[in-house]
Amino acid sequence: MTDGPLVPLQAGQDLVHPLMEDLNRFLMVYKFGLAEVSTKITILAEELTLRGRDNPIEHVTTRLKTVTSIAAKARRVGCELTFDDLRVTIRDIAGVRIVCSFVSDVYTVADMLTRQPDIKLLMTKDYIAKPKANGYRSLHLIVEIPVFMSDRVVTVPVEVQLRTVAMDFWATLEHKIYYKHDSEVPASLRAELVEAATDAARLDQRMERLHQEIHGPR
Ligand code: 0O2
């Protein structure tokens, strides 16, 4: 892969096709990294179900950051628009979101995943233990996974977000209502969003307690 700057383009040069090719090659490994992590999660969910244990995973989604979103984040964090710099600095180009049933499941699944010998845990941000000021709760991991190509092995960073259904409900709607919204949202409405996050956290606690009372500890 060439590793020149993504910009600037010069007038009259057909830089678009080679650039698209480089971009596709750059993004390809992240796509494969996502597939690797997704397969691991599918195996965990199916194996637990086959062993007659409760499947702690409700659903899983994956996303590759768009080129626009990568460029915006690069600008925000002061990263040069070169493939080398992007590779090192932007570690959430590949993202997997695992929605679990209960809070304890979030940690169990995170542990099952990060204990696998080919996965390297690079960073943990525990927004459940320490929610963001706006009420956001989730467990974020940056993991590195090897991807076996035809001629080399590439290690790819993947952001894994783990959260409960209640956390996901709040975050999905808050994303629509407010997160990274350009216009000002009145403080009273922001306070209500924090309150709603507290309600979601209470609901998580209650559902986990009910589950334990009926089925015993997970
Ligand atoms: P999208 O559309 O979900 O992919 P940054 O990425 O610069 O915001 P950082 O430190 O790299 O910050 O990442 P951080 O804060 O650990 O997590 C970023 C991702 O977590 C976001 O991805 C969201 O998915 C989610 N997130 C973090 N904070 C909030 C929040 O307050 N509300 C909601 N709804 N989601 C949040 P993206 O790429 O910003 O967006």
pLDDT at 1: 41
How high does pLDDT run on average in the chain? 90
Structural domains of the chain, with CATH: 20-164 (3.30.460.10)
Which structure tokens are listed for 172?
């999905």
* Residue 73 Cβ contacting ligand 1 at under 6 Å: yes
Is the minimum distance from the CB of 137 to ligand 1 under 6 angstroms?
no
Q: Are 135 and 173 in contact (CB under 8 A)?
A: no
| pLDDT, tens digit (0-9, with 9 covering 90-100), for 53-94 | 788 999 999 999 999 999 999 999 999 999 999 999 999 999
Task: Give the angle subtended at the CA of 16 by the CAs of 11 and 19, to the nearest 5°.
Answer: 120
Report the pLDDT averaged over residues 91-118. 97
Q: What is the pLDDT of residues 139-194, one digit of tens each?
A: 999 999 999 999 999 999 999 999 999 999 999 999 888 766 656 778 888 899 99
Q: Ligand 1 centroid vs 186 CA: distance in angstroms?
A: 21
Where does the pLDDT of residue 6 fall: very low under 50, low under 70, confident under 90, or very high at 90 and above?
low
| Other CB atoms within 10 Å distance of the CB of residue 45 | 18
Contact 118, 144 (CB under 8 A): no
Prediction pTM value: 0.89
What atom of ligand 1 comes closest to residue 135's alpha carbon?
A: 31
pLDDT score at 46:
92
- pLDDT at residue 10 tops 80: no
- How far is 8 from 57, CA to CA, in rounded Å? 45
Q: Which residue has the higher pLDDT, 216 or 63?
A: 63
Q: Give CA–CA dist 63/92, Å, rounded.
A: 10
